[in-house]
Chains A and B, each alone.
Chain A
Amino acid sequence: MHIGVFVCHCGSNISGTVDCPQTAKAAGEFPDVVYSTDEMYTCSEPGQESIIRAIKEHNLDGVVVASCSPRMHEATFRRTVERAGLNPYMFEMANIREHVSWVGRDKALNTRKAIDLIGMAVAKLRNGTPLFSERFNVTRKLMVIGGGVAGIQAALDAADSGIEVVLVERETTIGGKMAKLDKTFPTIDCSSCVLGPKMVEVAQHPKITLYAASEVDNVSGYVGNFTVQVRKRAVYVDWDACTGCGLCTEKCPSRKTPDPFNELIATTTAINIPFPQAIPKKATINPDYCLQLTKGKCGVCAKVCPVGCIDFEQQDKIEEVQVGAIVVATGYDLFDYSVYKQYGAGKLPDVITSLQYERLLNASGPTGGHVLRPSDGAEPKHVVFIQCVGSRDKSKGRAYCSSFCCMYTAKQAILTKSHLPDSQSYVFYMDIRSPGKGYDEFTRRTQELYGAQYIRGRVSSIHQHGSSLVVRGADTLAGMQVEIKADLVVLAVGIEPSRNSQKLAATLHISADTDGFFMEGHPKLKPVETNTAGVFLAGCCQGPRDIPTSVSMGSAAAAKAMVLFSNEQLESDPQVATVNATRCVGCYKCVKTCPFGAILESEDRWKNPKAEVLPTICKGCGICSVTCPHGAIQLNHFTDNQLLAEVNAICPLPTI
């Protein structure tokens, strides 16, 4: 075998702490290595050309590149060797950047480790075999999970390009958090006027199927061919028949039902339509508050419904949907601020969250857009806004910035002034973070034009004093303590990933960061991809985002799906398990351990029991090959022979 080794300097990333020329020289001594050199940037065009040239000049049939993590450039170099006529799997990568130069300071030791790692890669390559992909068809249908603004955008863009879209929404209406907002920054345009038409478009688009009040139960399959089980929750109303007339909601006697759309500052009826522009505009029964479902007597809605669509016997229904790609846009929830005991622990009625305040400002909210405080329905005069409640606070386990609170607080201060011209707003802030087009001008306008008083400092306590609230805090610019008598306190509560998103991550085989937000494929270059092929991200499920960025991500995720669907067929990854039938005794231990159900209990033509791998379902995890008592099932590209050769390369047998 003729192997070529290419040691990358990666600028000074590697050469700063690894002696690359010496490493290349030492690599030349490994068995079968006929050519070795070092390069400034192996991944650059000249770097790749030099690999191709060397393959031709030295008649190489295997290549080792010692550079960064294979997650970074393995695909790049596989294409390079393929261009030179080699099988792309006759290529190995030794990671001497993340595993060596970035983590060790001692140049001599680093160089030794780099040489060892190359020795392992060469040994593995010498035991490698060419592998060939199979081609398979793609289901040209996209599932979008989450119908907030990011998911809506992804669904519409994909549908407009001609792709069938299935939009799954957990709540009874799409629109997400944006539908609850009154106005948006920095233009103070009406949130529902901007979002409403898009929601209607989703409802009317011939290419979009909407599953509201539904959740994803299970996902199996692989890129291009996912099978998703969608649970349609029982809503106790036949939505195919319901016209959304609202007669039932007028007559329902159970009027003390908590209203999550109004962030629990108001109540609704047990059968309800969350808001006038809801999509789908269908009634839903809350089974915990419905008198018929809890006590067995009432049924008023069924009596008044002109189309007879009430169905108290309705059960959850599970439907199976075949899709080729999935966009996850599950958004966020608010941090539970009751852990801030000094802010009343959620017990003071006039201390509310920013989202509750949006509902008070909103014309379709419980107060009809009049700012009236919850305790006594009075108009507040002094309104205090507190930023970073559950953001940038390590003591509460929330070290990250929720990104858009500075902006919406400024917006809410402006709206407060326009609703109540005699009012005075105070904003306690840590830093004003307003990096965006027109954003900083906006926060300045809040202060200069609308007279909001910005106080840099944290609030130490809020307590009730008669009918007002006493807010105590520090003004760190003036170096003094401040005490404000407020009528209403609005907490800019930080955000966290939507509830149950950890379960969804496990279902989709995608990972989440330490804060629970879904991990992108690469922080800079793959912001909407995940490490699971065919699963894309949009909006706040990946991290705190404002509306414009969520919309951009929605479009970007749709574009990624379109790219995927532009292929008639996809190539399968050949790095999967294969069964050596002559060794397999049919014990089926592998069948039991495979977490993906990729191995079948099969038989050969003489009816002997044999395991059989479904290569498109196999994820190449290798659990089966360590389970097999006979070494009959092997993972391509990571065979026992290849791995043992690597071990022998760093732990050579002692010479006696």
Chain B
Amino acid sequence: MNNTVIAYYPGCSGKGSSAEYDLSTRTVLRHLGVDALEVENWSCCGSSPAHAVDHVLSAALSGRNLARVRSMGHDLVTTPCPSCLSNLKNAAHAVRDDDVRAKVNSLLDEECPTDVEAISTLQFFLEQVGLDTIQEAVVNPMPTLRVVCYYGCLTTRPPKLMCFDDPENPMSMDNILECCGIEVIPFPLKVDCCGAAFGMPRNDISSRLSGNILNMASELEADAVVVACPLCQMNLDLRQNQVNKACGTHHQMPIFYFTQLMGLSMGLSKKNLGLSKLAVNPEPCLARAGVR
């Protein structure tokens, strides 16, 4: 995988709440010989509000970013964030319709391309880097680290749009982490809801749903939960105290991004994987797994 250059869309959370996801993703990609080129002058993908207000506006916001990718001479863009991915994919799909494309283009300075594809970095790791290459890079397997993979709602859904992995029982992260020498426990709630954006308006709902996931992980005697979505991570990690309070539990469950564990297994420094950014301290768990 030497000197592959890909267009990379970090999304807003990559620059803020999930800076460690962005950092660890870039670190691991670089280590595997992939140069992640940030989309020049990228803008908001529309996030949750845009498509709730206006589909054309939402398509235009993401369409602009697709146009940026095209102007860089790329026809593939990867993003670590499932929500960004969903918006980019939706826009690419919507502008195939002539009417929608005309409306979108009337809002943009540059024409929205119809031939730029967006995929998740998870899919990129699995399909373009490949499990063999990942396995070759592993120098520090962690066989005593027991984790569960939690995919959330958007990683594989809606299936006809995402065209990736099984929507009911995804295995992509499980397979990657097993390649990294980590023990992955089958997790029945891997596509359940974490509460998503309800953390703010209805914290009670969000806490209950996130609580279910943490309870199940803990019952399965997992050392940590591994995720691929900044919002899932926030609900499970940053809000873990809220969940504990609401559910009367005492979880101290580290919530890793899968790229952080990939990096650790490849012997990359904790600093470059942003481990200190996690709210629940992962150190005790890593110490038990023999990671220094």
Q: Chain A interface (Cβ within 8 Å of chain B)?
A: 340-342, 345, 461, 463-466, 470
Question: Once the chains bind, are A345 and B169 in contact (CB under 8 Å)?
Answer: yes
Can you give 18 A-B contacts (C-beta < 8 A)?
A340-B168, A341-B166, A341-B167, A341-B168, A341-B169, A342-B168, A342-B169, A345-B169, A461-B168, A461-B188, A463-B188, A463-B189, A464-B188, A465-B188, A465-B216, A465-B219, A466-B219, A470-B188
Contacts of B167 in A (CB 8 A): 341
CA A461 – CA B188 in complex, angstroms?
Answer: 9
Closest 4 CB pairs of A and B: A463-B188, A341-B169, A341-B168, A342-B168
Q: Mark B174-195, 1 if CB is under 8 A from A, else 0.
A: 0000000000000011000000
* Chain A nearest Cβ from B209, distance in angstroms: 12
> Please, which residues of chain A bring their CB within 8 A of the CB of B168?
340-342, 461
Residues of A within 8 A of B188 (CB): 461, 463-465, 470
Query: Whole-angstrom distance between the alpha carbons of A470 and B216 in the complex?
Result: 12
Q: A464 to chain B: which residues have CB within 8 Å?
A: 188
The answer for the CA separation of A466 and B216 in the assembled complex, in Å, is 10
CB closest residue in chain B, given A470: B188
Measured in the bound complex, the distance between the Cα atoms of B259 and A257 in whole Å is 45
In the complex, which residue of chain A has the Cβ closest to the Cβ of B159? A395
Bound Cα distance from A341 to B165, whole angstroms: 12
**Nearest chain A CB to B82 CB, angstrom units:** 19
Cα–Cα, bound, A246→B265 (Å): 58
Shortest beta-carbon distance from B157 to chain A in Å? 12
Interface residues of B (CB under 8 A from A): 166-169, 188-189, 216, 219
Q: Nearest Cβ in chain A — how far from B182, in angstroms?
A: 21
A463 to B189, CA, bound (A): 8
New A-B pairs, 12, CB < 8 Å, besides A464-B188, A465-B188, A470-B188: A340-B168, A341-B166, A341-B167, A341-B168, A341-B169, A342-B168, A342-B169, A345-B169, A461-B188, A463-B188, A465-B216, A466-B219
Q: Which residues of A sit under 8 angstroms from B166, Cβ to Cβ?
A: 341
Q: Which residue of B lies closest to A466 (CB)?
A: B219
Please indicate the chain A residues that have their CB under 8 angstroms from the CB of B189 in the complex. 463
State the CA gap A463–B220 with chains docked (Å).
13
What is the CB-to-nearest-CB distance from B179 to chain A, in angstroms, rounded to a whole number?
21
Which residues from B are CB-within-8-Å of A461?
168, 188
A633–B169 CA distance with the chains assembled, in angstroms: 61
Most buried by A among B188, B189, B216, B219: B188
How long is the Cα–Cα vector from A110 to B2 in the complex, in angstroms?
A: 68
In the assembled complex, the CB of B171 is this many whole angstroms from the nearest CB of chain A, namely 10
Identity of the chain A residue whose Cβ is nearest the Cβ of B167 in the assembled complex: A341
Instruction: Please name all residues of chain B whose beta carbon is closer than 8 Å to the beta carbon of A466 when the two chains form the complex.
Output: 219
Chain A residues whose CB sits within 8 angstroms of the CB of B219 once the complex forms = 465-466
Residues of chain A contacted by B169 (CB below 8 angstroms): 341-342, 345
Please report the C-alpha to C-alpha distance between residue A465 and residue B167 in the assembled complex, in whole angstroms: 21
- Bound-complex Cα distance A148 to B219 (A): 48
In angstroms, Cα B221 to Cα A466, docked, is: 12
Instruction: Give the Cβ gap from A433 to chain B, nearest Cβ, in Å.
Output: 26
Expressed in whole angstroms, the Cα–Cα distance for A466 and B188 within the complex equals 12
Which B residues lie within 8 Å of A341 (CB)? 166-169
Task: Name the residue of chain B whose CB is nearest to the CB of A347.
Answer: B186
How far, in Å, is A439 (CB) from chain B's closest CB? 33
Most B CB contacts (10 A, CB to CB) among A341, A464, A466 go to: A341
- CB-CB under 8 A from A345, the residues of chain B are 169
Closest beta carbon of chain B to A375's beta carbon, Å? 15
Which residue of A has the minimal Cβ distance to B189?
A: A463
Instruction: Kindly report which residue of chain A lies nearest to residue B171, judged by CB atoms.
Output: A341
A211 to nearest B CB, angstroms? 43
In the complex, A464→B219 CA distance in Å?
A: 12
Distance in Å: Cβ of A395 to nearest Cβ of chain B: 9
B6 to chain A, nearest CB (A): 30
| Nearest-Cβ distance from residue A348 to partner chain B, whole angstroms | 9
**Complex Cα gap A341–B216 (Å):** 19
Closest CB-CB distance, A25 to chain B, in whole Å? 50
A463 CB contacts on chain B under 8 angstroms: 188-189
Complex alpha-carbon distance, A466 and B215, angstroms: 13
Name the residue on B nearest A348 (C-beta). Answer: B188
Kindly report which residue of chain B lies nearest to residue A464, judged by CB atoms.
B188
Q: Tell me, rounded to whole Å, the shortest Cβ–Cβ distance linking B169 to chain A.
A: 4
Bound CA span A341–B191, Å: 12
Residue of A nearest to B170 (CB): A341
Most buried by B among A345, A461, A464: A461
- Bound-state CA distance A345–B190 (Å) is 14
A340 vs B168: C-alpha distance when bound (angstroms): 8
- Bound complex: CA of A465 vs CA of B216, how far in Å? 8
Q: In the assembled complex, how far is the CB of residue A337 from the closest CB belonging to chain B, in whole angstroms?
A: 13
Task: Tell me the nearest residue of chain B to A469, going by C-beta.
Answer: B188
B residues within 8 A CB of A340?
Answer: 168
CB-defined contacts of A465 to chain B, threshold 8 Å: 188, 216, 219
Q: How far is the CB of B150 from chain A (nearest CB, A)?
A: 13
Determine the residue in chain B with the shortest Cβ distance to A345.
B169
Q: Tell me the bound Cα distance from A463 to B217 in angstroms.
A: 13
Taking the closest CB of chain B, its distance from the CB of A14, in whole angstroms, is 42
Residue of A nearest to B190 (CB): A463
Interface hub of A340, A342, A466 (most chain B Cβ within 10 A): A342
Chain B: minimal CB distance from A473 (Å): 14
Tell me the complex Cα distance, A340–B167, Å.
11
How many angstroms between the C-alpha atoms of A466 and B167 in the bound complex?
24
Chain B proximity of A339: nearest CB distance (Å): 10
Measured CB to CB, the closest approach of chain B to A347, in angstroms, equals 8
A465, B189: Cα distance in complex, Å: 11
Least Cβ distance of A107 to chain B in Å?
A: 36
A341–B167 CA distance with the chains assembled, in angstroms: 9
CA distance A464 to B167 in the complex (A): 19
Report the separation of the CA atoms of residues A465 and B188 in the bound assembly, to the nearest whole angstrom: 9
Shortest Cβ gap from B236 to chain A (Å): 18
> Across the interface, which residues of B come within 8 angstroms of A470, CB to CB?
188
- Complex Cα spacing A436 to B169, Å: 39
| Closest chain A CB from B191 CB (angstroms) | 8
Bound: A345/B166 CA distance, A = 11
Complex-state Cα separation, A463 to B187, whole angstroms = 9
Cβ of A214 to closest chain B Cβ, rounded Å: 40
Q: Chain A's nearest CB lies how many Å from the CB of B217? A: 13
Residues of A within 8 Å of B216, CB to CB, are: 465
User: Complex formed: what's the CA distance from A464 to B189 in Å?
Assistant: 10
A463 to chain B, nearest CB (A): 3
Min Cβ gap A397→B in Å is 15
B170 to chain A, nearest CB (A): 9
Q: Which residue of A lies closest to B166 (CB)?
A: A341
Q: How far is the CA of A209 from the CA of B219 in the complex (A)?
A: 61
> Which of B166, B167, B168, B219 has the most chain A CB atoms inside 10 A of its CB?
B168
Minimum C-beta distance from B38 to chain A (A): 36
A342 to B188 Cα, complex, angstroms: 9
- A345→B216 CA distance, assembly (Å): 20
CA–CA, A536 to B166, complex, Å? 42
- Closest-by-CB residue of A relative to B169 is A341
A250 → chain B closest CB, angstroms: 40
Measured CB to CB, the closest approach of chain A to B113, in angstroms, equals: 32
Write the chain B residue with the least CB distance to A340: B168
Q: Please report the C-alpha to C-alpha distance between residue A463 and residue B219 in the assembled complex, in whole angstroms.
A: 13
User: Complex formed: what's the CA distance from A470 to B169 in Å?
Assistant: 16
A340 to B189, CA, bound (A): 15
Closest chain-A Cβ to B175's Cβ sits at a distance in Å of 15
